[in-house]
Amino acid sequence: MNTFTDGEKVLTFSYDVDEVIKHDKGYIVLYDYMQCDFNVDAYDLDGNRLWNINDILKIKIKDAFVEVRKAKEPKNCIYVWSYMGIRYCIDVENQKVIETLITK
């Protein structure tokens, strides 16, 4: 499914959506990793794309992401797990990596 409904707002995406996380200023969308590389995008509340995960990480080797969660602390952060076994804590407002942890 490539749509997400939030109240009366319907957002449509180019790829199938695995998960959407809503935060104060928008949405974080995890797409099906079999359909695209760097499969996490951020959107504002109006549905305008703000950034792709690789705009922040700047990874040279293609990677896919398998899970995304909203962090309790620090506020406005998400955790994203890569297929290669790396967990990133990302500040979605400032578009910065707060923490990197190798999980494999």
Nearest to 100 by CA among 81, 82, 87: 87
Q: Which run of H or E residues covers position 55?
A: helix 53-57
Q: pLDDT digit string (tens) for 9-64?
A: 899 999 999 999 998 889 999 999 999 989 999 999 999 999 999 999 999 988 89
Distance (Å) of CA 35 to CA 26, 43, 64, 101: 23, 19, 10, 25
CATH code of 81's domain:
2.40.10.480
pTM of the model: 0.90
Please give the tally of structural domains in the chain: 1
Find the domain containing 54 and state its range: 3-102
The three-state secondary structure class of 50 is: strand
Can you name the residues that pair with 89 across neighbouring β-strands?
A: 79, 99
